[in-house]
Structure 1
């Protein structure tokens, strides 16, 4: 099976096909197939079509894992190769889409020698001319220097170009972010059901997660992303939230969950249709991701004018409790919102931020309501 996968990737690399990707790496999305020796000047890529399946613009380097820049060791998270984008450099690839469908792009990136590095991610063309997402490349969320990021978009045309661009201007043109593993996933817009008035309350629908990446996927704030890669939800804060999977983390329910990694600066919200005067129960799970995130945690839940704080004492080894907020709707639309009260850091001396896990969020109307808001403690699972 692995041999078949390799032959398929090799075929795609040689024929330069433009494909419709539904769930997985773009052709040569991990950059393992690189330029010919004649198309490299040191590590600098020479020729816009030198990297199979990609078009490069500006100062782009082809980096091998373990390569050094001065005293700095350049690390590649998966495989043996990655690319580095210098000042105003970009990489792009043509992809076929289903017009009107929603997609998410997931890619891995790392900061190298510039102090503040950013990436612009766009899909061209769009009706708005450009679907830009400005993503700051920082290392404080992870302990290995690499992060995966996700951004979403709606396909306005049957074919477009995915563009990753470094807008920075550093003193050294070779200082720029490393890029590895670019993937695409079709998002299926979730619907409200009789069992849950919230969309995608279990977070199962979301961006592509690399099978071997053990650091989760950061979903940037809504102000940096016009179409959320987490359907139904808005990241309405200054910092990202982290999308985690059950293969690498402890998840209360199903295969996916959200880690609130930046205290009150990391908030998740959804607006739901409600009936004025009717009573509702908002229930949810709060836990830890089994990622050395220890200490006292509090998740604050808001619904309209009501709120509740759910405390969780994390040992950093997994487990969760359940919370509940009962409220009476005062408007036709109610904003449900979650955030973490405290900033928490992992106990592995990495200085990386972490936080409580949120999962299994449900909203239901109450036929015979009790008169007060409350929350429920449960034993760790």
Structure 2
């Protein structure tokens, strides 16, 4: 049965869900005014297996997300879309402060390899080995090499998904959407159309979830985290197939095969929805990157990007049915791991709409903890 699907938020979760639902023949409309979208302002490192976070539900999402990318890219290719600029696997180098930390990585890899075959080969690198993999990098510390580590270009991914959604008959409405209630029913209102109805609704607007639900009387535990990065580019860097570099700190070094190297991103918890580029913060990013890439000052910044990620107060993911709204779901709080877990979550919601079942354990993701309906109108 064809369903009328509405999705508010055209970032990685909403766009992936819309793509798969449109692919299955449903009537899909995505509402995305695009301001501050984290996905477009990001470059993601797909290498989640070595985090020290002990949050098992979070790890379930990111590990499944890393595996899902292979199916995701193949589906796009099968539909005729070029994914070369979106997702690249050239390995990841995690620079560590001690040999003991490298050994911990090796132990983790051995324990997780069966469930996560995408990890590939994992080995210790000496300081000399690191520069062999990426000549621009200098380090006095050992590192862990992860063969299956990849990278995602957020802008390229969203552009491709939005094109695919429309090619498959879906609509993207570039307007700010509001939720309204009438006679107990929820509908969507935009500046050009007063009332949009739907059979199923997914709310995936990042930090904007609060503004969507508060007018209906909900209290939402979501806050914005500002992220900034900058882009360097040189023709000598094209098609080098260099790995991602993850040093201590927030200045990850992410080379793409189009000749870009992306540096960042920041994690600023006190800026709210401020989307202004802060040159002082970018200067700090550059100072940090210089410790590992001394030539960073030899190249001009060709672009700076700013977006806002969504976080819950305990940095857990918010996912599930909005309390008291049986046909409305919400996904938010993915933080800086959104490019890893987002496609998997979007695909899972599409699967839920299609089959009434998904692989998300409701008990592991208690949405009532983050969206309280006590005052719902």
Under a length normalisation based on structure 1, what TM-score does the superposition of the two structures give?
A: 0.25
Q: Using CA pairs under 8 Å that are at least 6 residues apart, name the structure with larger relative contact order, 1 or 2.
A: 2
* Structure with the largest fraction of strand: 1
Under a length normalisation based on structure 2, what TM-score does the superposition of the two structures give?
A: 0.25
